[in-house]
Amino acid sequence: MTRSPIPPLRVALITGGTTPERDVALAGAGEVVRALRASGHEVTAVDTVYGELGPDREGNALALRVGHRPPRESELARLRRMEDLPGLLRLPAIRSADVCFLVLHGLDGEGGRVQAVLDLGGRTYTGSGMLASALAMEKKAAKRVLLGAGIPTAPFVVCDRDDPDPWRAEIEALGLPVIVKPSRVGSSVGLTRAESHEDIRPAVAKARRHDRLVLIEEMLPGREFTVGIVGSDEEGPQALGVGEIVAHGGLFDYHAKYTPGLADEIFPADIPKSLERRLGELGVATHRALQLRDFSRVDFRLDAAGEPAVLEANTLPGMTTRSLLPQSAASVGICFPDFCDRIARLAADRR
């Protein structure tokens, strides 16, 4: 007996946002739209600022290339004045969708704001729920949850003002260099490597432009890795391929991520099977500890003894074909359209 094909879904792809990662979201959205349509789904693109894009506007809006620097804060402030997140629930594309596919970054998406709106409207969406998203986005809180679960993470200090002097003893205990970054921003925006105590104050001030809470973290000396996670709660999340990140300037910041030639992303990583298994196990454990859903990407760095420590978990990672999560999937044989289809259907199954 022949099985009937799985019916296609009506998908509202929500993207844009008004965070420094807006360009990254739009670039990924264009590729996800094409991938979902290639799998037979009916897709309408929705910008959190401009609403339903429609065929006439979609091409220009989603053909964006990510620049070497995030958008100017003045432009983001203008867009924030226009954005109406509760108004998303009034859009026909979202009201009629089987699934809302989120391609958002920063506080709009990874921080749980859009998820909260969709929950209020009873809409089904891809990825983690509001509370888990907010927890994972808040690096300070997420690290404390991981430590409580026995999952190693890089030692850190939290600074909530421009002046880091009150935390000088704790910072000195971390050793130099240190990594200074905003607590609730993604795409490595505002990230700085501070080589001396004199570098820390301007690094904190730079990070504070993006978030009042700043994380000062020990710079672990070993190699940097990432692993994708995917799967339903019923089946259990599974680790995808492990990749290694080699930043030629020593720091995988926004500039290095989106400037060709400044970093190598090697999939699969050339590492012993024992380390590959360990990274996969820690990735799954991190996903579970933070109560994430559908998919995530977990980043690691090795300490001086060669042991992995979690840097952070990404609940809505970049979704261009060259982003780290799709590369992690491709390295174990899952092509980009199939990966996008799987994410959409994981969410649809919850309906």
Q: Show which residues are catalytic.
A: 21, 187, 258, 297, 299, 312, 314, 318
Give residues with Cβ within 8 angstroms of 224, minimum separation 6: 244, 245, 246, 247, 252, 299, 300, 301, 302, 311
Q: Is the peptide bond before 268 cis (omega within 30 degrees of 0)?
A: yes
CA–CA separation, 158 and 136 (whole Å) = 16
Token digits for 298? 């977990």
Neighbouring-strand partners of residue 226: 243, 299
- DSSP bridge pairs for 125: 100
Q: Quick one: tokens of 51? A: 């609403």
Q: Encoding tokens for residue 256?
A: 């290095």
Q: What is the DSSP string of 70-131?
A: PPPHHHHHHHHHH--SGGGGG-HHHHT-SEEEEE--GGGTTTSHHHHHHHHTT--BSS--HH
